[in-house]
Amino acid sequence: MPLLELVELTKIFRTPHGEARAVDGITLSVEAGETLGIIGESGSGKSTLGRLILRLTEPDSGSVVIEGQDVLALGRGELRRKRRHWQIVFQEPFASLNPRLTIRQIVEEPLIVARMGDRAERRLRVLATLEEVGLSADFMDRRPANLSGGQQQRVGIARALVTNPSLVVLDEPTSSLDLTIRASILRTLARLRASRGLTYVFISHDIETVRHFCSTVAVMHRGKIVEVGPTRDVLIAPQHPYTQSLISAALPVVPYSAAVGTTNSQGQTS
Amino acid sequence: MTSLGGRASSWAKQGRAWAYKRSGMVLAVVAAGIIVALPLAAIFLHLPQNPLQPDVESMALAPNSVHWFGTDGNGMDVFSRTIESARLDLPISLAATAIALVIGVPLGLFATTGVAGEAIMRVVDAFAALPIIVIAVVSIQLMGGGATDVILAIALVAAPRFVRLSRAAAISLRSSRYVEAAVAIGCSPIRVAFNHIFRNAYGVILVQATLTTAGALSTIAALNFLGVGVKPPQPSWGAMIEDGVSMLIRGQWWAVAFPALALLLVIGSLNIIAGAIEDKMERVEHTR
């Protein structure tokens, strides 16, 4: 049984200019331990899809089943109690952290809300989780504004993982970070996936990141999945014309000109 | 030498920063002391003259050794009345503000969506459309007219502003990423409202609370003028100023000046306290 199953999921935003089908009849399934990459350009509806999976936005139709549980059938209170198993890491790390709270308060809150452990146990768990994401105990009493972007995102990851969830939606977790920090965050996420057996839904617009990080990839275009399959197959031999154009638009890891060794008259690689 | 000089100047800088931080706190403590001491003085201190006793022999006397702040048009001692005013003025205005906060802030935080939210806002709008004094007079007449009723009436009139302020904050912060994150970790609506929205919005609410307290002092005076609530000859600063204004034209400034100074002192103190609280929170946020 897949860990996550979406059937005909649809979200329509109604604006004065008409309807926008942000997510249009998406059917997908993700096996436990798998990492599904969702790739597409801005406005393709991939972030909305991530929010629909966790019911942070209510869909117009379709169904979401996680671990055999129909998410849309849950009452408000039941849904809140289930949230600790299904988590999300947001794109903008600083904006997603309450500036008034300390790192300790931020990472501890999911435990308090889920009524997990007493004070002492929670403290130990926060410490252990921070260490797992690569932050020392020194960070406990600091506030988000005093951390770098990478450190802030590590706090966001710690908050998502502290309750030991089974499914984590990663909504472009590295797209606002420097390249070097991006790689180190991705390594941390990969390590956690291996050690905790996590299932990820990884939303991204960066083909290279998806290529290295995801076992399966779904290509989204105007609210629809145009192509889905094992990452290698989809990225090496794309079937759909939109996937082909997406891949050809991506910057190659080794610039073409550098590989061929041509320069233009100004001495710049072209 | 240069390194030594550099270190000394950095010490001086740190010293100044320390003094600056301390001065804010000291000032706030002094301000809080004034707010607490004035009503206590009115209640426990033996005033030099009876503040409620008119005296036809000594009307409109300038400040002298017997009447330190002079006497008013009825021959009552201005000093004693200025202190005595604090007995009712301060507790009433502070309690009214506290009640307005307790009613208004939760309503505003939750009245953001749905039919209930709309209904709350329409009631608030209706209240805001009526003149404050009319509401206060009517509600005091309905309730009786003691100090408790004045407190409730002023709270009722002040609460809509807190509803609006906290609702505006709730609406603007609700779409913020960290509030969405709070929902995603399973926080209840109450927890989201207080731990995430109110915590980031109380600066404006605090400032409004200071203004409300100051406004309450003048509402007490206005009610007094209309003959409801605090009844003469029981003094209030607002009423003393009101009465004293007619003496100004004859150059008899003291009947207005001293209660006005007391009012100024109280409002200034409240501002300092509010500023210190906000400052402390800001500092907590920006330094480790």
pLDDT at position B97 over 90: yes
Average pLDDT of chain B is 83
Shortest Cα distance, chain A CAs vs residue B116, angstroms: 18
pLDDT at position B1 over 60: no
Distances (CA, A) of A207 to A47, A49, A211, A237: 16, 18, 6, 14
Closest partner CB to A87 (pick from B184, B200, B287): B184
Residues 8-37 of B with CB under 8 A from A: none
Q: Which two tokens stand for residue B177?
A: 């990423």
Please name which of A142, A162, A140, A56 lies closest in space to residue A99, comparing C-alpha atoms: A142
Tell me how far the alpha carbon of residue B31 is from its chain's centroid: 12
Q: Which residue of B has its CA nearest to A99?
A: B285
Contact A97, A71 (CB under 8 A): no
HEC assignment per residue over chain B: CHHHHHHHHHHHHHHHHHHHHHHHHHHHHHHHHHHHHHHHHHHHCCCCCCCCCCCHHHCCCCCCCCCCCCECCCCCEHHHHHHHHHHHHHHHHHHHHHHHHHHHHHHHHHCCCHHHHHHHHHHHHHHHHCCHHHHHHHHHHHHCCCHHHHHHHHHHHHHHHHHHHHHHHHHHHHCCHHHHHHHHCCCCHHHHHHHHHHHHCHHHHHHHHHHHHHHHHHHHHHHHHCCCCCCCCCCCHHHHHHHHHHHHCCCCCHHHHHHHHHHHHHHHHHHHHHHHHHHHHHHHHHCC
For the segment A48-55, the average pLDDT, to the nearest whole number, is 94
Greatest mean pLDDT range, A218-232, B69-83, B230-244: A218-232
Q: Is B174 on the interface with A (CB under 8 A)?
A: no
Shortest Cα distance, chain A CAs vs residue B197, angstroms: 9
For the segment B194-199, the average pLDDT, to the nearest whole number, is 90
Closest partner CB to A145 (pick from B199, B281, B285): B285
Distances (CA, A) of A24 to A46, A221, B128, B287: 11, 10, 46, 47
| Calpha distance A197→A77 (Å, rounded) | 27
Classify domain B2-51+66-286 by CATH number. 1.10.3720.10
For the segment A186-201, the average pLDDT, to the nearest whole number, is 94
Q: Which residue of A has its CA nearest to B283?
A: A100
Can you give the pLDDT at residue A98?
A: 93
More confident: A115 or A250:
A115
Shortest Cα distance, chain B CAs vs residue A177, angstroms: 17
Confidence of residue B100 (pLDDT cuts 50, 70, 90): very high
For A81-128, write each residue's pLDDT tens digit.
Answer: 999 999 999 999 999 999 989 999 999 999 999 999 999 999 999 999
Can you give the pLDDT at residue B8?
A: 59
For chain B, give every domain's residue range. 2-51+66-286
Q: Is A99–B200 a contact, with Cβ atoms under 8 angstroms apart?
A: yes
Can you give the pLDDT at residue B114?
A: 79
Contact B34, B269 (CB under 8 A): yes
Confidence of residue A267 (pLDDT cuts 50, 70, 90): very low
For the segment B107-112, the average pLDDT, to the nearest whole number, is 88
Closest partner CB to B186 (pick from A84, A101, A143): A84
Q: Is A90–B180 a contact, with Cβ atoms under 8 angstroms apart?
A: yes
For the segment B73-95, the average pLDDT, to the nearest whole number, is 89
Quick check: helix, strand or coil at residue A128?
helix
Q: Which residue of A has its CA nearest to B173?
A: A98
Q: Which residue of B has its CA nearest to A76?
A: B188
Other beta carbons within 10 angstroms of residue B175's beta carbon come to 8
pLDDT at position A265 over 50: no
* Gap between the terminal Cα atoms of chain B: 33
Q: Before A238, cis peptide (omega within 30)?
A: no
| Residue with the two structure tokens 């604006």 | A15
Closest partner CB to A98 (pick from B196, B284, B288): B196
Q: Which residues of B touch A141 (CB under 8 A)?
A: 288
Can you give the pLDDT at residue B210?
A: 87
Shortest Cα distance, chain A CAs vs residue B44, angstroms: 42
pLDDT at position A262 over 60: no
Residue in A47, A79, A86, A100 to test binding to B, most B beta-carbons within 10 Å: A100
pLDDT at position A269 over 50: no
> Strand pairing partners for A229?
A217
For the segment B12-24, the average pLDDT, to the nearest whole number, is 71
Going through A16-89 in order, the beta strands assigned E by DSSP cover: 18-30, 35-39, 61-66, 69-70, 86-89
Q: Which residues of A touch B180 (CB under 8 A)?
A: 56, 90, 96
Q: Is B283 on the interface with A (CB under 8 A)?
A: no
Q: Which residue of B has its CA nearest to A77?
A: B188
Q: Is B184–A56 a contact, with Cβ atoms under 8 angstroms apart?
A: yes
Closest partner CB to A95 (pick from B177, B184, B199): B177
Closest partner CB to A113 (pick from B187, B281, B286): B187
More confident: A254 or B288:
A254
Confidence of residue A39 (pLDDT cuts 50, 70, 90): very high
Shortest Cα distance, chain A CAs vs residue B202, angstroms: 11
Q: Is B186–A110 a contact, with Cβ atoms under 8 angstroms apart?
A: yes
Average pLDDT of chain A is 89
Contact A110, A72 (CB under 8 A): no
pLDDT at position A268 over 70: no
For B218-229, write each residue's pLDDT tens digit.
Answer: 888 777 777 777
| Calpha distance B13→B19 (Å, rounded) | 10
In this structure, of A2-11, A208-217, B174-183, B205-214, the range with the lowest mean pLDDT score is B205-214
Can you give the pLDDT at residue B232?
A: 67
Closest partner CB to B178 (pick from A84, A95, A110): A95
Confidence of residue B174 (pLDDT cuts 50, 70, 90): confident
Distances (CA, A) of A102 to A132, A135, A146, A174: 18, 14, 10, 22
Q: Is B67 on the interface with A (CB under 8 A)?
A: no
Please name which of B60, B80, B88 lies closest in space to residue B224, comparing C-alpha atoms: B88
